[in-house]
Structure formats: C-alpha cells, structure tokens
C-alpha cells in the first residue's frame, strides 16, 4: 500500500484510486472546516473548545498538503487548479510521467493522454503497483486504448500480483488489461491456466471454480466431438456420453483427480499439468477453518470457497457445506 493511501487512511479519507477531482474536493472540504473554525473562534477567542477544533482542522489541512506535495511535487495545487489543459486529470498524468508514484484513477483523462500513460508505463525499467493499478483502469481495448508493448511486460506485472502467484487476480489482469483482450477474462483461459489457478495460494470464489469446471468440460467436449466426427463416430447419445464420462467423473472428483489420464486416453489436445498443490491445500484448509468457525458470513464465504470445492470434489463439498451452513433466521410476522 502506498504512502499516500496510508496517509489518507490516517485522515479518514481513504479512497482507492483517488481522482484529481477528489483530491481537490477533499482539500476544499478541509479548508472549509479550517475557515469555519477560524470564523467561530473570532467570535469567541477565549473558547478552548473552538481553539482545539481550529488546531485539529489546521493540522489536517497541513498534513494533507504535505502528503500531496510529497507525492505530486512542489506547486502541485497550482498545477491542478491552473492547468493549461482543458482536463485537470491530464495535468495529473503529466505529473505521474515525471516519475512520481501514486495511485490515481485516470479514467477521465483524455484519450491521447491515456495512450501516453500506457506507453510511458510499458517503457519503464521497473514497474510498480501504482503502474499496475493505472493500467487496469486505463486500458480499454474496445476503444483502442492500449499499447502493444504492455504484453512484453507480463512477467513484470505478474510479479506484482499476489506475490507472483498465478491466481484469479493474475489471470484477470493478464487478459483484461495487460494483454488487452478485453471482456470476460475467463473466456481466454487455457486448460493449463485453469489448473495453475487451482494450484495457486490465493483463495477464489465458488463462481470461479464453477467457471473452471464448466470451461474444462466444454473444451473436452468440443475436442471429443471434433475427434469423433473425423472418425465417423456418433457425437451425441449414449455412446458419446459414455466416452466423455471419465472427464465428467474427474471434474467432479477431489482435485480433478484423473483428469489428465482421461484426456490422454481420449487423445484430446489438452494440457493438464501435474502441479504441486501444497499451497492450495493449505489455503483451502485455512478457508475451511474460517467457515467452520463462522468467522466469515455465509454471503462472503462464497467469495473464497472455490479452492475448497476443488480440493474436496463436488459431492464431498456439498455434504461439508451443508454441515457448516448457518440457517437463515425465521421471519417474524
């Protein structure tokens, strides 16, 4: 977390991906509080409580200005309020490209300035979390806002995500932003990437697990249809379902056990790597503990239970989940 964000937390003004307008609005609010305190104290100069209020308001404004001077440089307020651009966000982009490091939501920057930002970031020798944040907010492939050089920095960006783990956040960033594919990142995933996601440490949602299973099944089904069509064999009905059954069974088994063998036996061109699942298993155990102790709510649990589904398998997971669910309270008439 960046210094600016930490200081915003201290001021009670946390706003991830702060915008230029929000910086100026926050300062206006702090200045208004200081001015109001000064005016009130002018009518009661000996009031200790009002003196305390003014001191607090002055301190907050002073710390706020110091924070943004450190992040945006000398003259930052004048640059943002008297920018030569028609868009003060473009001025903030220029400040960013002068070598500062701060998280900023540049969505309202001009199209040309967004492209400048992406080119600047793609060419940086060392990338930061702030760069990753900017790319995730600025890249819009359907609007032509992308820089091809970003793709060459995939490994550098990846090292900044979840300590380099290739989990859900990594693949989302990879396809949605860094490679500029746009749309739903899940539709671009390769079979081996789904297995990498399952083997990674960061927890993922039930919805992601279901997408993983459904996509792997869809890929296997498509390849099997193509193979059987080429051989003049049925591509539907009992015979086809029987041929596909080992894949379905494996996808419902704990850890997709037997999936690699199933696709190999069928001669399907799918790479199912045999990865070390130690980290994923430990992560799933931690999630199980949280859920069983009801540390997380039922609603939030679904956001982190995907790995548990993977580890336990469909049937075992359903039984376990039912055993730890908290009944909904009965409604009173």
Q: Is residue 212 part of a domain?
A: yes
pLDDT at 327: 53
pLDDT of 44 > 60? The answer is yes
- In a domain? residue 22: no
Q: Is residue 202 part of a domain?
A: yes
26 lies in a domain?
no
Establish if 75 belongs to a structural domain.
no
Residues sharing a CB contact under 8 Å with residue 116, sequence separation 6 or more, in sequence order: 93, 97
8 Å CB contact between 19 and 104: yes
pLDDT tens profile 135-185: 999 999 888 999 999 999 999 999 999 888 899 999 999 999 999 998 899
Task: Of 264, 217, 214, give the one whose Cα is nearest residue 245.
Answer: 217
- Residues 6 or more apart whose Cβ sits within 8 Å of residue 101: 2, 71, 128, 130
Q: What is the mean pLDDT of the chain?
A: 88
pLDDT digits (tens, 9 = 90+) for 277-325: 999 999 999 999 999 998 888 888 899 999 999 999 999 999 999 998 7
Tokens of 29: 């609010």
Q: Which domain holds residue 315?
A: 198-325
Please check whether residue 311 lies inside any domain of the structure: yes
Report if pTM > 0.85. no
Q: Which token pair is 176?
A: 């949605």
- What is residue 220's predicted lDDT score, i.e. its pLDDT? 97
Report the C-alpha gap between 134 and 208 in whole angstroms.
25
Domain count, the chain: 1
d(CA 7, CA 11): 6
Please state, in angstroms and rounded to a whole number, the distance separating the CA atoms of residues 300 and 28: 37
115 within a domain of the structure (yes/no): no
Q: Is residue 267 part of a domain?
A: yes
């Amino acid at each position: 977390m960046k210094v600016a964000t930490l200081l915003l937390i201290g001021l009670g003004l946390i706003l991830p991906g702060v915008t230029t307008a929000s910086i100026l609005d926050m300062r206006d609010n702090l200045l208004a509080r200081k001015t109001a305190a000064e005016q009130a104290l002018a009518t009661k100069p000996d009031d200790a409580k009002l003196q305390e209020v003014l001191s607090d308001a002055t301190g907050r404004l002073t710390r706020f200005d110091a924070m943004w001077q450190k992040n945006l440089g000398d003259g930052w307020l004048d640059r943002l309020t008297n920018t030569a651009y028609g868009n003060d966000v473009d001025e903030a982009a220029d400040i960013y490209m002068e070598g500062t490091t701060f998280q900023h939501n540049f969505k309202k920057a001009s199209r040309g300035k967004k492209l400048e930002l992406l080119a600047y970031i793609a060419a940086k020798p060392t990338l930061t979390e702030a760069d990753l944040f900017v790319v995730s907010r600025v890249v819009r492939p359907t609007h032509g806002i992308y820089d091809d050089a970003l793709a060459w920095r995939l490994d550098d960006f990846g090292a900044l995500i979840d300590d380099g783990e290739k989990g859900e956040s990594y693949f989302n960033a990879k396809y949605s932003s860094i490679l500029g594919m746009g749309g739903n990142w899940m539709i671009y995933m390769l079979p081996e990437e789904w297995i990498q996601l399952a083997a990674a440490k960061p927890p993922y949602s039930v919805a992601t697990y279901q997408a993983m299973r459904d996509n792997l099944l869809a890929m296997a089904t498509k390849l099997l249809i193509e193979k059987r069509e080429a051989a003049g064999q049925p591509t539907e009905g009992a015979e086809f379902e029987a041929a596909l059954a080992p894949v379905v069974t494996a996808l419902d088994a704990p850890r997709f056990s037997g999936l690699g063998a199933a696709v190999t036996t069928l001669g399907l061109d799918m790479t199912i790597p045999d990865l070390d699942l130690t980290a994923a298993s430990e992560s799933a155990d931690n999630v199980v503990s949280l859920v069983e102790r009801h540390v997380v709510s039922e609603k939030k649990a679904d956001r982190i239970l995907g790995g548990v589904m993977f580890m336990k398998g469909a049937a075992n997971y359903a039984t376990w989940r039912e055993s730890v669910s908290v009944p909904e309270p009965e409604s009173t008439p």
